[in-house]
Chains A and B, each alone.
Chain A
Amino acid sequence: MGIRVYWIRLKKMDSTFFKNIFKKYYDKVFDNYKIIEKEFDINKDQHIEIDLDNNIYYNVFNINNSEIKIKINNNDISMMYNEFNIIGKVKINILINNFGNLRVYNLYKINSNSSSDSIEKIYNKNNIVLISKIFIDKNSKNSEGKLSQYLLEENGISILLPILDIENNKSKGFHGSKIFKLTEKEENYLKYLSLNKEEIKNILIREFNSI
């Protein structure tokens, strides 16, 4: 599969945006990468685990009235495009464990009379850029998209870019984010309650996992 196919395919998947955003990385790093494409039709609750290697991944998830849990593990330099086509009432829970260098673009396309409640949890120990877009086009009426992002970072660099692209006024989009990080003042307060740095870190991880 060559680069040409790659861009043709991308064109169908909000490709221009994806290409422009990650072009810099693509040119430098991904030229010789394999492109792995998958399409999932999901009609019942499912759990999917994806271990990333040095590849570019395209995933299309067609989800109909179901809940999907996706766990993504990355230790390498990887790039990922996930397109979620939402029909009916859908819940999406994504956990990204990143120990490498990762670029992700999640596109949530919400159809008419459909709603998605998406949670993205990112545990980052290295470098991640995550772009997440809720897209409701002008013909999709009475649609609702909600995106909640939670980030726990350990000596990592994280860039999270949420986008709400709602093209008609009969639909709604929501976004919220939370970073699991403590200020120096907060850490100091916890020291006065007999907690050391390691224990404080463990508490934060526990809180993150409990979402």
Chain B
Amino acid sequence: MLKIEGLNVYSDNKKILENVNLEFEYGKLYLVFGPNGSGKTTFAKAILNDESLKKDGKIILDNIDITNEKTENISKYIFYSFQDSVEIENIRTRTLLMYILDNFDEKKILNLGKDLGLPEDFLDRGVNYNLSGGEKKRFSLLLSILLNRKIIIFDEIDSGVDIEFLNKLKYYLDKFKKENKIVILISHNLKFAKELDVDKVIILIDGKVKYIGDKSILDKIEKNGFNIF
């Protein structure tokens, strides 16, 4: 279980998140929803102890306090898919994968890449280098599959992509749940979110959790916007 207790997060001395208390269980899909600037990305990055953020409160993973653990250590258990993936020209994707994967099976990776719609030569390119926005999301999904972490956080992986990719994404979100992972999807895509087998919806507004519950809330938001909170 991933537990967040009394989490306050600050960036440049500005309070971004206030008193967040949440629990995430294995084998469930969580949707984090909220307007722009509500603190969704900060919330995800705070879990991984991003060094640009200051925080207080506690983050407990399987009864171990990871609040102040280094990002590179936390990310051995939690995969965070960036909203805007960084392009790294100087490191080829092949080399990166050889370092971060326990078993580098090139044939399997190429097949998976092809299935997800990545360019044929993506292993020879720099990491995310010269990939389109949609291809970067595809590469993020590929990483989430290959890294096989127990917790996966997707930050707006469903924006700026085509319907074919959304179908693949839906398939893998279900698969991750069945594999007993905690899956957290940060999204703005109400239509897509409504199609998913979401276990809990968390609404974040102005850095505060305004709602934790089932996905029926999405219909109300669709109808009345976030003014209902």
Contact of B82 among A192, A195, A204, A210 (CB under 8 A): A192
A9 within 8 A of B: no
Q: Which residues of B contact A194 (CB under 8 A)?
A: 72-73, 75-76, 100
Q: Is there an interface contact between B80 and A192, defined as CB atoms closer than 8 Å? A: yes
Question: Which residue numbers of B lie inside 8 Å of A, CB to CB?
Answer: 48, 50-51, 70-73, 75-76, 80, 82, 85-86, 88, 90-92, 95-96, 99-100, 127, 143, 147
Q: Which of A179, A182, A193, A206 has the most CB of B within 10 A?
A: A193
Q: Which of A178, A185, A190, A207 has the most CB of B within 10 A?
A: A190
Q: Which residues of B contact A186 (CB under 8 A)?
A: 86, 88
Chain B residue with minimal CB distance to A200?
B91
Q: Which of B71, B73, B85 has the most CB of A within 10 A?
A: B71
Interface size on A, residues (CB 8 A): 22
Q: Is there an interface contact between B72 and A203, defined as CB atoms closer than 8 Å? A: no
CB distance from B150 to the nearest CB of A (A): 13
Q: Is there an interface contact between B86 and A203, defined as CB atoms closer than 8 Å? A: no
Chain A residue with minimal CB distance to B99?
A203
Given that A194-B75, A203-B95 are contacting pairs, would A182 and B85 also be in contact in the complex, using a CB cutoff of 8 Å? no
Q: Mark A168-209, 1 if CB is under 8 A from B, else 0.
A: 000000000011111001101111111110010001101100
CA distance A195 to B147 in the complex (A): 13
Q: Which of B72, B75, B82, B127 has the most CB of A within 10 A?
A: B72
